[in-house]
Amino acid sequence: MAGVGVLLALVLMALGVGTALRQRRTLRRLRAERFLPSDERDYLRGQVRRRVVVGIALFAIGGMIAAYYASGMDARMDAIGDRRKGLVAEADPGRPAEADPADKRFARLVGFYWIGVLGLVFAIACCAVLDFWATRRYWMAQFRLLKADHETKLRRDLAIYRQAKDNDRVSGLGDERPGEPGA
């Protein structure tokens, strides 16, 4: 089980580093591109901040999982469980076995440790939701701009069409010359 945990930790750490490096590339692109609209620049900077936080949290989670297995916390928790099973077997059926206070403190520490890992996972989920909403808000604003531009062009084209149609109608009235039949 420790091998799978360490492998998971390494994958998470690699994902965290990869995410941070990719955001570094985005920041370089932002600095290089001088004529980027300010709303797009703000959106991309916020995106970089959120994704760097996710990369750091992924790296931290991977480090915490690796530390859990490398420090022997997993083995000690297994030993506490084995001792507890042995104590219950030896104890009277009506009386629960007494646990070592040091084992209780260690189990509480491990519980808080995993609560910390889950807190980081929650922070990643929150950043992902915030990133989704920020992306949605930005692209909806872009869509509204494109839609307004398209509607303006359609109105202009319609006005030009109507003007041409009116010009054709007016020029059609003045085609009859005096002295010709029908005049």
Span 12-21, average pLDDT? 94
Q: In percent, how much of the chain has pLDDT > 70? A: 86
pLDDT at position 181? 59
Specify if 44 maps to a domain.
yes
Q: Among 69-78, 86-95, 162-171, which is the least confidently predicted range?
A: 86-95
Average pLDDT over residues 92-102: 67
Better pLDDT: 38 or 97: 38
Burial of 61 (0-12, 13-18, 19+ CB in 10 A): buried
Question: How many Cα neighbours within 13 Å face the side chain of 50?
Answer: 18
Average pLDDT over residues 97-123: 90
Distance CA 34, CA 83 (A): 66
Q: Which residue has the higher pLDDT, 182 or 105?
A: 105
Confidence (pTM): 0.73
d(C-alpha 178, C-alpha 183), whole Å: 6
pLDDT in tens, 127-169: 999 999 999 999 999 999 999 999 999 999 999 999 988 888 7
Looking at residues 115-137, what average pLDDT do you find?
Answer: 96
- Residue 183 domain-assigned (yes or no): no
Q: If you average pLDDT over residues 33-39, what whole number do you get? A: 88
Query: How many domains is the chain built from?
Result: 1
Query: What residue numbers bound the domain in which 132 lies?
Result: 2-168
Contact 22, 68 (CB under 8 A): no
Q: Over range 92-101, report the average pLDDT.
A: 65
- Is residue 142 one of the residues assigned to a domain? yes
Of 180 and 55, the one with more pLDDT: 55
Asked if 20 and 55 touch (Cβ cutoff 8 Å), the reply is yes
